[in-house]
Amino acid sequence: MYAAARNWDLSKNVEGQRKERGMKKQSVRAWIEVNNELHTFVVDEKTTPQIMEIHAELKRLSELMHAAGYVADTNFVLHDVEEEEKVFLFISP
């Protein structure tokens, strides 16, 4: 909530309290269907056998979208980073 409001100090404070109390975040899970087969993985997972191919395809699609004039809406990237990095975070797995 605080990150969405761009209140980075309070956001970091809440995150610190969460860690102090030993609370863990739930991992974000993504799904994709390819050839009628459902694939699921945890965001930032590195153990998926096809991870290199997935990253290459995401990069290829991102470049095609950019060339077609797509501009990422980074309003939902809730990290206190520069705009250029937000675009990378927005399209990265």
Question: Model confidence over 5-63: pLDDT tens digits?
Answer: 878 888 889 889 989 999 887 777 778 888 898 888 776 677 777 778 877 887 888 88
Looking at the domain assignment, is residue 3 inside a domain?
Answer: no
Residue 18 counted as domain residue: yes
pLDDT higher than 70, residue 89: no
Residue 1 lies in a domain: no
- Higher-pLDDT residue of 40 and 90 is 40
Residue 88 pLDDT > 60, yes or no? Answer: no
CB 30 within 8 A of CB 93: yes
Give how many domains the chain has, as a whole number.
1
Helix (H, G, I), strand (E, B) or coil at 14: helix
Q: What CA–CA distance (Å, rounded) separates 16 from 11?
A: 9
CB 77 within 8 A of CB 2: no
Residue 84 lies in a domain: yes
Q: What is the pTM of this model?
A: 0.48
Q: Are strands 37-42 and 29-34 parallel, antiparallel or unpaired?
A: antiparallel
What is the model's pLDDT at position 78? 66
Enclosing domain of residue 70: 8-91
Say if 43 falls within a structural domain: yes
The yes-or-no verdict on residue 93 having pLDDT over 50 is no
